[in-house]
Structure 1
Amino acid sequence: MFELIKGDLKFKQDWFLSQKSWFVKNVRIFLDPGTIASTVYRYGSWTRTIKVSFIRALFRIPYFFLKAIVVTGFGIYIPSKAKIGKGFTIHNFSGIFISEGEMGENVIVFQGVTIGHLRGQPEPPKIGNNVLIAAGAKVLGSVTIGNNVVIGANSVVINDVPDNCTVMGNPARIISRETNWMSEKLAGNDNNY
């Protein structure tokens, strides 16, 4: 649990707070609603791994209270059954719904994002590594999102998206097959962001 939380914090510090002061990167980050929500999710996910049911129940009680605060206070819903890799970052808050699906590492979610089921499709979406899901985007149904993908603002994804693509629109269509937003950012070439 702590390694995943540490990975989430480091990714957020490197991605969004790299130009900010020490105070913002190391203190204020813990007051950010997205950080609080992802930490509560990590705690809830960890409690599911406790084998002894009585002890698991004791640890789940605080999780339910914390989750209620995150859902009602910040508008962020992430079930503890979701499988999310390290480097999970929520930028901003409000109107975020994430289903019980799977996400890889280094996934960024902005406000107003929904990742969920569609009627008649029992499986939730599967999200790869290094995916940016912009504000208002919806990823719906039994779709697979590849690695190194950008989903544009207010897009509705109802079909699979291959690796290294940028998609936009309703329904989302591929507008670029040369997406390398993560490698440019990590290399320090962030002039376009």
Structure 2
Amino acid sequence: MFDLITADLKFKQDWFLSQKSWFTKNIRIFLEPGTIASIVYRYGNWTRTVSPNLLRLLVRIPYFFAKAVVVTAFGIYIPSKAKIGKGFTIHNFSGIFISEGEMGENVIVFQGVTIGHLRGQPAPPKIGNNVLIAAGAKVLGSVTIGNNVVIGANSVVINDVPDNCTVMGNPARIISRETNWMSEKLAGKDDNY
């Protein structure tokens, strides 16, 4: 649990706060709703692994209270059953719903994002590594999102998206097959995102 939280914080510091002051990177980050929601999710996910059952119930009680605060105060819902890799970042807050699906590493979610089921489909979306889901985007149904993908603002994704693509629109369509936003950022070439 602590390794995942540390990886989430490091990714957020490197991605969004690299040009900010020490105070912002190391203190204020813990006051941001997205960071709090991520930590509460990680704790809740960890509590599912605790045994025996009585101990699991005891460690889940604080989680239920914290989750209620995150949902009501920040508008962010992430079930503890979700499987999310390290480097998960919520930038901003409000109107974020993430289902019980799977996400890879280094996924960035902005405000107003929904990742969820569609009625009649057997599974929630599966998100790959290095995916940016912009404000207001919806990823719906049993779709698979590849690695190194950017989903544009207010897009509605109802079909699979291959690796290294940028998609936009309603329904989302591929507008670029040469997306490498994460590799450029990590290499220090893109400081203006």
- Using structure 1 for the length normalisation, give the TM-score: 0.99
> 2:23: which partner in 1?
23
Within 1, Cα distance between the matches of 2:161 and 2:192?
23
> 1:176: which partner in 2?
176
Which 4+ runs in 1 deviate beyond 2 A?
none
For 1:44, give the aligned amino acid.
Answer: G
Question: 1:124 aligns to what SS in structure 2?
Answer: coil
Within 2, Cα distance between the matches of 1:182 and 1:189?
10
1:118 aligns with 2:118: yes
> 1:155: which partner in 2?
155
Within 2, Cα distance between the matches of 1:91 and 1:191?
17
Output aligned runs, 1:42-191, within 5 Å.
42-191=42-191
> 2:10: which partner in 1?
10
For 1:106, give the aligned amino acid.
Answer: N
For 1:8, give the aligned amino acid.
Answer: D
Within 1, Cα distance between the matches of 2:32 and 2:83?
22
Within 1, Cα distance between the matches of 2:4 and 2:192?
29
1:122, distance to aligned residue in structure 2 (A): 2.2
Within 2, Cα distance between the matches of 1:52 and 1:70?
27
The verdict on how the C-alpha distance between 1:191 and 1:57 changes in structure 2, with shifts beyond 3 A counting, is closer
Within 1, Cα distance between the matches of 2:50 and 2:191?
45
Within 2, Cα distance between the matches of 1:46 and 1:192?
35
RMSD over aligned Cα, in angstroms?
0.6
1:24, distance to aligned residue in structure 2 (A): 0.1
Within 2, Cα distance between the matches of 1:122 and 1:89?
27
Within 2, Cα distance between the matches of 1:69 and 1:155?
28
Question: 1:150 aligns to what SS in structure 2?
Answer: strand
Unaligned runs of 5+ in 1: none
For 1:12, give the aligned amino acid.
Answer: K
Within 1, Cα distance between the matches of 2:60 and 2:27?
27
Number of residue equivalences: 193
Within 2, Cα distance between the matches of 1:125 and 1:112?
17
Within 1, Cα distance between the matches of 2:64 and 2:97?
17
Deviations 1:36-87 (A, max 9, x none): 0000000000000012000000000000000000000000000000000000
Within 2, Cα distance between the matches of 1:78 and 1:45?
10
For 2:22, give the aligned amino acid.
Answer: W
- Using structure 2 for the length normalisation, give the TM-score: 0.99
Within 1, Cα distance between the matches of 2:138 and 2:175?
17
Within 1, Cα distance between the matches of 2:61 and 2:75?
20
Report the identity percentage: 89
Unaligned runs of 5+ in 2: none
1:192, distance to aligned residue in structure 2 (A): 4.6
Within 2, Cα distance between the matches of 1:25 and 1:101?
30
